[in-house]
Structure 1
Amino acid sequence: MIQSIYFQKNPSLYMFVPMFYIVWADGILTHDEIKKVRELVKEQDWLNPEEKDFLLSQLDPQSPPSPDELKSWLHSIRSVSDQMTNDMKKSLVEMGIKLAEVNAQTMDQLSVEKAKTSLKEVEEALGVISSEAAYHLRSAQRKTTSETQSSLGSFDMETMADILDGQNKTILEEIRNLLQEESFDYLDTDHLSEYREQVFKWCKRLAEEGMGATAYPKEYGGEGDMQKYFAIMEGLSYHDLSTVIKFGVQFGLWGMSVYFLGTEKHHKKYLEKIGTLELPGCFAMTETGHGSNVKGLETTATYDHSSQEFIIHTPNELAGKEYIGNAALHGQKATVFAQLVIDGTVYGVNAFVVPLRDKAGQLHPGVTIKDCGRKMGLNGVDNGRIYFDQVRIPKKDMLDRYALVDENGQFQSPIASDNRRFFTMLGTLVGGRIGIPRSGLSAAKSGLTIAIRYSDQRKQFGPENAGEVPILNYRTHQRRLLPLLANAYASHFSLQYLTDRFLKRSESDAQEIEALAAGLKSFCTWNTTATLQECREALGGKGYLSENRIDRLKNDTDIYTTFEGDNTVLMQLVAKSRLSEFKKEFSDINFFGLVNYVSEQARTSLIEMNPITVRNTDSEHLLDFDFHLNAFQYRERDILTSAARRIKKHLDAGMDSFDAFNQTQYHMLHVGFAYIERVVLEQFQAQVERTTDPQCKATLTKLCQLFALTQIEKNKGWYLEHDYMAGTKTKAIRRQVNQLCAELRPEAVALVDAFRIPDSCLGAPIAVKKG
């Protein structure tokens, strides 16, 4: 208890104790604060000079109270807290008066009123929030919204999981069960060769289950089920991603190139052996010196009519096949893309099956392979560089679905143009741009599951005199993770749509689907990278520990943004496709003459551009699906017409078409983004409409709204520049995003549980659910 003689002489001084305690418990007084309080104390005519000097001495930074004295003040305050009303407990001033009354025999009411006024002035001078500071002192507990938020969920998790799995539920269940077998336990090793051999064993195990040959025709050991193959890639990606990539190289790139680019003789000779992994192989397209410019490859395949052979040759170091999966250790043959040369004439890039090594691992004569060595990630995949020195292969090993050399040594193809033939060949292999984003999304789902489960259990800080609260209850943490969760759901449904379009494709929509695959591959893999980085940071030090697997997920998926096509290059492909489609749409009218008209029509015809709507901040409007879609469509149309206008301007000025596109590359990227974002939103909204379970539909609706508003918020600068929204509206959107995050917080754990990722695959101790 407080023993000072001044308190004993004048118990009214106890009124200052709560305020003094807060001052010293909270920090150091500034010079201006001390000056102001001193002036206020000196003005109190109900205090004598000695008492004033005593109170001023309690505010001297050079002579702070001792730790014991500070604890004594707190003990005195709390000793009388049970005698206070609830209103009194919310005010430092009322607490001080009550403390004074308890310690005094009598209290002069005039002095009390003067003291109350003075204390409020002191409180104001110090910038103290009285009701908040009072909680620090009283013994009673309080409940807050943040403290009581839970993760109960309002929907049936299994129903939501079935929606996500869709028609792939059976095969995904098989994969999950398989991955929980002891043989698929993660290998904890930094030994490169040991890890690579384990990955090869895992791929063999998958081949034994028939999963490798799934997409091949039944007569070659498969099921003819491409849909199932994509689902396998998605499910396997909850496990080791090196296995996924080696699986994809072997059964996807190597096997599918033989299947799609070859003919029956190649299918009979190779497919069954590829599907069982009896014949490991590679997909040798990329060269050191060309990267994305596959059309400019320098490896040659020169036809020797006298021997009926092709001579595969690497003319220089930069023409070496670079970063080829399966090449360093296991690959025995490869689909090699090379410039076909007949009698000195080049007939463009064609594909050939070329031997690399025999079953004993000995390199074929003329073949040199260098190990790429340790990489940033995916170190279970044996990438290598391949060089050919006059390697001869039989004529029959040209994959001849689209082109061949006939008995007379003449080049034959149903497609006259080298360019068109080449891009037709590539179009058949677009499946890789579906498998990769689905794999990357699975990795993002794993990261989100780890981060959200941990955030639901990890407690930090909390209200004064109350328990700590889960960090997922904090608005900033919700803002970090829940929009990414909405993005994952949005990506999931858009990739389902892409897969379905790809499987049902026709010649007429092949170009559109190729552009869609390129765009979604970019959108989803960029989001994977961003999601995993945010998950790592949201987990703090726990995310930095390898045992919690975020590092492996980050490192293994980092390459996803550049293989199967560099994302930036792919987005330009998307933009060019959109410009071509735009031109076709108005092919009966002069295209560029129409651009300005269409742009102006887009501006003036939309109802959203009226002043009321531009400023509308009602929640009903901001959450409306039509508002979201119209906003996305408007942005897409405007950016597209703007890009066309820019290119036309450069061409009219006499600029070469290559330079014109180069000048507008940055703008072209935004054409791609706007198109893909609109498609993703459309497919999310379509899924919401298809959902029949009311609870799941309600939650998916909020997720879809969060996705849409987060994208609009991300692009708010553009909308403001184009007068599509006023500042009051973009601010309201920010508030609405906050509100949606709060409403989805109780659903977050159930939403990641709906991914049905086995705990053994997550491999993160911090992601183990309570109980």
Structure 2
Amino acid sequence: MSIATKSKYSPGILSLLPIFYVTWSDSVLSPSEIKIIRKRIQDLDFLTFSDKRQLVKWLNPAQPPSPEEFKEWIQELKKHAPEFDENEKLGLSEMGLKIAQSSIGYRQDEVWKSPKTQQALQEIEEALGIRSEISKTLLETKLQPGKSTSEISNKGSFDTTKMQAILDGEHGELINRVKKLLRDPAFSYEILRDKADQRKRVSEQVQYLADQGASTYAFPEKYGGKGAVAKSIAVFEAVSYHDQSLLIKFGVQFGLFGGAIYGLGTERHFEKYLNDMMTFKLPGCFAMTETGHGSNVRDLETTATYNHSTGLITVHSPVYDAGKEYIGNAMDSRMAAVFAQLIVNGKNEGVHALMVPLRDRHHNLLPGVKVLDCGYKMGLNGVDNGRIWFDQVTIPKENLLNKYGDIDEDGNYISPIENPAKRFFTMLGALVAGRVSVGIAGNTGAKSALSIAVKYALKRRQFSANDNEKETLIMDYPSHQKRLIPRIAKTYALNFALHNLQALYAKQYGTGEMREVETLAAGLKSYATWHCTDTVQEAREACGGKGYLQENRLTDLKADTDIFTTFEGDNTVLLQLVAKSLMSEFRDNFNDGGYMAIIRFLADRFSTSLTELNPITIRNTNAEHLLDKDFHISAFNYRVNKLTITVGQRMRNYLKRRITPYQAYLRCQIHMQEMAEAYVEKVILDSFYATIERTDDEGCRAALTKLCQLFALNTIQDHKGWYLENDYMTGSKTKALRRVVNKLIQELRPEVLNLVTAFNIPDELLGAKIVES
């Protein structure tokens, strides 16, 4: 028989005291939480009138419990706290019931064994969002400080194999096959600091991949390919989990150089070059960027002048700054796809691509070609970047990649696209696969960094409450969780958006209608690669000094992926392209139907958002509302719509004042970039929710829902200043939002190992000694 210990509080109050303690632990109770507890308390028939009055008194936000009362609560709970089984999964409500039972002995405890009582307390706990293992551990540490408390489980609640299949999508089998190949000792991750050694090894590995047919997916079967463009991006994704120098060398050869031949050439080029390019017998490079012109491709200075009397085209770098800059594969290549201003009969027909030989079969530079090594870089030293100049180099007319522009037998320029501007953008659109691929590679860089940081945080211990306890895992510190878990959520979100883009690209490939793909590729590439640089840095810091050691890969990840923010276009410039595309839609709506079109446009833009602007909604701090899908979608939609409307209004006002379009654009440039970012975030959120809708497995669906909620709310929190300025939220709502974000992070803590395990990055590819099994 248990002997009850006299308590200051009744069993009813004791049953709720664990919930009250944890709920008040961050010193703030939101109005919606107070409302929930008050209502639930009034419905609890096992509480006396005196119990209810005391509990309601503790809910006064103007007079929150004092430090003395907190100490008193803990002292009272300690009197009755039973010995908790470390393996027992208890929530705060179950702890409260045990404490209430202990306070009255076993003769009067029937009410505390009633399923109705247990359910009522659990409903309060769930409504407040504190039904988690972390909440239980927080209180358990206070109640039994002399005993090593149970650590948070890392078992997770979902099948990682099923989650991996969701992450990999329809090409999961191919991705896993390439990963298996990369685990071979021939691809073992090594630290080579001499660039000559590193380049030699990377070139050998590119050849191995070509020998295995990994280079053939984007090209037609007629020439030895497999004719599956989406699968070529999947191969690129698989390689991106490994050495980034190998990835970029592989991408330059088969993506950029090969892509230029197939995307801009015709049958004569396919017959002549494709097979040798795929087998790596013909190493090549993609020579677009110049010292004086990077993002501004239209104004490249290299010239390609046609002489009809000889049938030759002369490629020339007229000034030093016209030299091709930072060209990957430049030191190994025998041929280059060179972008130059095509001049026919004295007329500049705009930028076109031409196949220009650089070296003979003995690797000697050809006459008129000058190539210099870029030397050591911040990272990617396994890639042979170089600078190239041409001094009156002549090539046959047939070397012009002539899909969109050609020279006929009479020496006249011809093109299936009459408009030069449309021709130029169509040509660039044929090369958009690079941006899709680099965006995916950026996100896999984030996956690798997070895998290292999380697995290390589940090994590394630091500090303890007293000398009798094991030190605490650093993953169990809320500050550490805050560093990593929101970034895991964003990585998952980007994964689904990028795979949707990959599928859309494959669907529209070759149709000539690539505008939507180009816009999404520019936006998602920017967002994903910025996310990568941010995540790798945070992961490095989260691993402390271990993260600074080269043997643990984060230093190379940081150095190698940093360039992704300017690869395939500078991110800031790419966001401006996204903004211009959005503004084109805006302009089309205004020009097509006059005043009524404007009314329809505005009504459509704000149809899902105006309900959010009533005084009740903008102050709604209820957790259920903040976690609701409709709130997230409405908030994201409102932001992109409002920014689009306001930038359009600014542009029109400037033009009315006779400010030139270019100057008006410059004045709105920052505003437009913010609009583009909002659009990209909306696309990512929509993709995430669409993925959840397609997910049948309950465990995976529940985890993905929490991740999506965290991504949505964390993103809104990042922009809370904008939402406050635009009266979309009040300060009380943004405070409540912060609390819900923190609770979601706590609830996802037991899932972190599963979440990174689902990335399925083998140790051989991860290349970090601190996480080797």
TM, length-normalised to structure 1: 0.80
1:642 and 1:764 mapped to 2: Cα distance? 48
Contact 1:377 1:555 in 2 (8 A): yes
2:443 and 2:144 mapped to 1: Cα distance? 49
Deviation, structure 1 residue 468: 1.2
Deviation, structure 1 residue 187: 2.6
Is structure 2 residue 714 aligned with structure 1 residue 710?
yes
Is structure 2 residue 517 aligned with structure 1 residue 521?
no
Is structure 2 residue 573 aligned with structure 1 residue 569?
yes
Matched with 2:310 is: 307
What runs of 5+ residues in structure 1 fail to find an aligned partner?
1-83, 90-131
Moved more, 501-510 or 475-484: 501-510
1:608 and 1:618 mapped to 2: Cα distance? 14
Q: What is the identity, as a one-letter code, of the residue corresponding to 2:248?
A: I
Q: 1:383 aligns with which of 382, 385, 393?
A: 385
1:518 and 1:592 mapped to 2: Cα distance? 32
Q: 2:198 aligns with which of 170, 195, 199?
A: 195
Cα deviations across residues 582-602 of structure 1 (Å, max 9, x unaligned)?
Answer: 222344333799389828983
Q: What is the identity, as a one-letter code, of the residue corresponding to 1:340?
A: L
Matched with 2:406 is: 404
Contact 1:430 1:517 in 2 (8 A): yes
Deviation, structure 1 residue 188: 2.3
Q: What is the identity, as a one-letter code, of the residue corresponding to 1:355?
A: P
Q: 1:236 aligns with which of 239, 245, 252?
A: 239
Deviation, structure 1 residue 242: 0.6
Matched with 1:216 is: 219
SS at match of 1:687: helix
2:304 and 2:288 mapped to 1: Cα distance? 13
SS at match of 1:148: coil
Contact 2:438 2:525 in 1 (8 A): yes
Q: How do residues 236-315 of structure 1 correspond to structure 2 at under 5 angstroms?
A: 236-315=239-318
Moved more, 399-408 or 162-171: 162-171
Matched with 2:58 is: none
Matched with 1:533 is: 537
Contact 1:152 1:746 in 2 (8 A): yes
2:77 and 2:572 mapped to 1: Cα distance? 65
Cα deviations across residues 120-169 of structure 1 (Å, max 9, x unaligned)?
Answer: xxxxxxxxxxxx9xx99x9962466xx62221101011111111122112
2:595 and 2:355 mapped to 1: Cα distance? 45
Cα deviations across residues 238-258 of structure 1 (Å, max 9, x unaligned)?
Answer: 111011001010001000110
Matched with 2:118 is: none
Cα deviations across residues 176-217 of structure 1 (Å, max 9, x unaligned)?
Answer: 111111111123221111100100000000000001121110
Matched with 2:111 is: none
SS at match of 1:724: coil
SS at match of 2:285: strand
Is structure 2 residue 594 aligned with structure 1 residue 583?
no
Contact 2:339 2:352 in 1 (8 A): yes
Cα deviations across residues 232-286 of structure 1 (Å, max 9, x unaligned)?
Answer: 1111011110110010100010001100100001000000000000000010001
Is structure 2 residue 544 aligned with structure 1 residue 544?
no
Moved more, 504-513 or 432-441: 504-513
1:87 and 1:402 mapped to 2: Cα distance? 83
SS at match of 2:481: helix
Contact 1:583 1:591 in 2 (8 A): no
Q: What is the identity, as a one-letter code, of the residue corresponding to 1:316?
A: V
Task: Pick closer, same or farther for the CA change 1:469–1:648 going to 2, 3 Å.
Answer: same
1:615 and 1:604 mapped to 2: Cα distance? 18
2:77 and 2:745 mapped to 1: Cα distance? 36
Cα deviations across residues 679-707 of structure 1 (Å, max 9, x unaligned)?
Answer: 00000000011100000000000000000
1:456 and 1:210 mapped to 2: Cα distance? 39
Contact 1:444 1:532 in 2 (8 A): yes
Task: Pick closer, same or farther for the CA change 1:500–1:433 going to 2, 3 Å.
Answer: same
1:713 and 1:578 mapped to 2: Cα distance? 24
2:630 and 2:572 mapped to 1: Cα distance? 30
Contact 2:609 2:637 in 1 (8 A): no
Q: What is the identity, as a one-letter code, of the residue corresponding to 2:231?
A: K
2:171 and 2:606 mapped to 1: Cα distance? 40
SS at match of 1:457: coil
Contact 2:589 2:601 in 1 (8 A): no
2:605 and 2:571 mapped to 1: Cα distance? 32
Deviation, structure 1 residue 423: 0.8
Q: What is the identity, as a one-letter code, of the residue corresponding to 1:244?
A: L
Q: 1:687 aligns with which of 670, 686, 691?
A: 691
Q: How do residues 53-132 of structure 1 correspond to structure 2 at under 5 angstroms?
A: 87=79
2:422 and 2:538 mapped to 1: Cα distance? 42
Contact 1:596 1:645 in 2 (8 A): no
Q: 2:146 aligns with which of 141, 145, 170?
A: 141
Contact 1:599 1:638 in 2 (8 A): no
Cα deviations across residues 424-450 of structure 1 (Å, max 9, x unaligned)?
Answer: 100011000101011111111000000
Matched with 1:623 is: 627
Contact 2:609 2:638 in 1 (8 A): no
Q: 1:471 aligns with which of 455, 469, 474?
A: 474
1:210 and 1:704 mapped to 2: Cα distance? 37
Matched with 2:440 is: 438
Q: What is the identity, as a one-letter code, of the residue corresponding to 1:677?
A: E
2:297 and 2:657 mapped to 1: Cα distance? 31
Task: Pick closer, same or farther for the CA change 1:727–1:139 going to 2, 3 Å.
Answer: closer
1:302 and 1:357 mapped to 2: Cα distance? 21
Matched with 1:206 is: 209
Contact 2:287 2:339 in 1 (8 A): yes
Moved more, 576-585 or 668-677: 576-585
Cα deviations across residues 555-608 of structure 1 (Å, max 9, x unaligned)?
Answer: 101010011000000000000100111222344333799389828983996211
SS at match of 1:611: coil
Q: What is the identity, as a one-letter code, of the residue corresponding to 1:719?
A: Y
Contact 1:592 1:644 in 2 (8 A): no
1:412 and 1:230 mapped to 2: Cα distance? 33
Matched with 1:483 is: 486
1:556 and 1:163 mapped to 2: Cα distance? 28
Matched with 1:612 is: 616
SS at match of 1:369: strand
SS at match of 2:593: coil
Matched with 2:51 is: none
Is structure 2 residue 497 aligned with structure 1 residue 494?
yes
Task: Pick closer, same or farther for the CA change 1:597–1:363 going to 2, 3 Å.
Answer: closer
Is structure 2 residue 739 aligned with structure 1 residue 735?
yes
Deviation, structure 1 residue 337: 0.6
SS at match of 2:760: coil
Is structure 2 residue 338 aligned with structure 1 residue 333?
no
Moved more, 458-467 or 238-247: 458-467
Contact 1:603 1:609 in 2 (8 A): no
1:284 and 1:499 mapped to 2: Cα distance? 25
Task: Name the % identity.
Answer: 50
Contact 1:249 1:282 in 2 (8 A): yes
Deviation, structure 1 residue 552: 0.4
SS at match of 2:616: helix
SS at match of 1:746: helix
Q: What is the identity, as a one-letter code, of the residue corresponding to 2:344?
A: I
Matched with 2:352 is: 350
Moved more, 516-525 or 459-468: 459-468
Contact 1:303 1:311 in 2 (8 A): yes
Cα deviations across residues 347-391 of structure 1 (Å, max 9, x unaligned)?
Answer: 111110000011211001100001001001111000010000000
2:724 and 2:590 mapped to 1: Cα distance? 30
1:544 and 1:236 mapped to 2: Cα distance? 24
Contact 2:350 2:424 in 1 (8 A): yes
Is structure 2 residue 771 aligned with structure 1 residue 760?
no
